[in-house]
Amino acid sequence: MKIGLDYIACVGTGGNAVYSRNLIDNLIKLDNGNTYYLYAFAHDVFLGRLARYSKSKNVRIRPVFWSALKLPLPKALMNFVNKLSFSFWTLVDGLDVFHFTNPLNFRNSFQKKTVTTIHDMSPFHSNEWSKPKSIAFFKDFAKEIISDSTALISVSEYTKNDIIKLFSTDQKKVTVIYEGVSRDFYPDFDPSFLMEKFQLSDYLFYEGQLQPRKNILNLLKAYKTLDVNVRQKYPLVLVGGMRDKTYGSLVSSTIDELDIKSQVKILGQLPNSDIRKLYSGARVFVFPSLFEGFGLPILESLQCGTPVITSSTSSLPEVAGDAGILVDPLDIIEIGNAMKSLLTNDQLYKDLKGECEKQAARFSWQKAARETARVYENCRYSLKS
């Protein structure tokens, strides 16, 4: 089969980009029976940023999309050019299936059979959890995307049920394929590194964007419920980019109001090599997010051997399994009590830590790639023409 992929979804550092890069790389590596056409930004192709695929016999690179950042043209004109370019290349390549790994890239063309990955339906739950452009696009086009796609992939059972509930979608159209975890994450406890670079020994850890959906303010308030001597021994370490200056100011003012500034370390964005060591050295990973389509940081923590405290909502119980404590993300006392339990109850901590490797083993990008290739095969023989 000839399979097209929206390689532009691989650009960036967010969860969707991580998903797209890992899935595409593993499809190319594991599936030699099909040919993969990577529809990329033209400037990335011309600058040689996809050169690493040049030795892959089952890959074709296409300079399909043109970026307004590289060409000073009106956005509406760029969208029109990209639509024509996409239609042209799908016609020329004669693809059997096109997979939109990010639904925001979805577009109709001469391509008749499409697979679309739906990561979550957060725009239909709260306007505070996504960028305004993403919310507007999804609310305007989600119904069309779901209807026009030959097959859908969801990254959790929760997201699948959300799609079915919101759009009365035939459940047979939606396949759940869990994400995997990057090889960058594995047990890597390095106490001397942690002390020298971050002045850390024992600590609680959070990794992810600092934004309202991640429930950072309740995390800080729950941390405050711990005894001061416990907080002094176990500082709370936050890693990740701040959503914006306004939210950053709110986080800072909350820390000041709670009088925990000396016990909270905000380290910003860090390379995976540092994050791996921080996961591995943490007593516990705390991730009380309000809503997730999957919850990749939980899986990264488990892969590094660190148990988690996370929310009992959305997809998070599916990822945490028996390797974590589930809490109501709106209940500050419950989150605080879970922290206290894992800091003071050594047997509980040992039991959960023993489940980490077992739970993490349920997820891999190789498994995700094999299951995705089966969706392509089924899509090929579907009745939609």
Segment 254-303, tens digit of pLDDT: 999 999 999 999 999 999 999 999 999 999 999 999 999 999 999 999 99
- What residues contact residue 137 under an 8 Å CB cut-off, 6+ apart? 104
- All CATH 3.40.50.2000 domain ranges of the chain, comma separated, are 2-180+365-380, 191-360
Q: How confident is the model at residue 53 (pLDDT cuts 50, 70, 90)?
A: very high
Is 190's pLDDT higher than 50?
A: yes
3-state DSSP call for residue 181? coil
What is the pLDDT, as a whole number, of residue 69? 66
Percent of the chain with pLDDT over 70: 98
CB 136 within 8 A of CB 123: no
Contact 61, 53 (CB under 8 A): yes
Structure tokens at 223: 């941390």
pLDDT of residue 70: 67
- Is 3.40.50.2000 the CATH number for 191-360? yes
Q: Given the structure tokens 């797209």, which residue do they identify?
A: 20
Label residue 385 by pLDDT band (50, 70, 90): very low
**Cα–Cα distances in angstroms (integers) from residue 235 to residues 69, 330, 385, in the given order:** 41, 22, 58
pLDDT digits 0-9 by tens, 137-164: 777 888 899 999 999 999 999 999 999 9
What pLDDT, on the 0 to 100 scale, is given for residue 371? 97
Question: What pLDDT digit, counting tens, does each position of 231-251 carry?
Answer: 999 999 999 998 888 999 999
CATH of 2-180+365-380, one of 3.40.50.1980, 3.40.50.2000, 3.30.830.10, 3.30.2390.10: 3.40.50.2000
pTM attached to this predicted model: 0.90
Count of Cβ atoms closer than 10 Å to residue 329 Cβ: 24
Burial class (CB in 10 A: 0-12, 13-18, 19+), 232: exposed
Using CA atoms, how far apart are residues 277 and 187, in angstroms rounded to an integer? 8
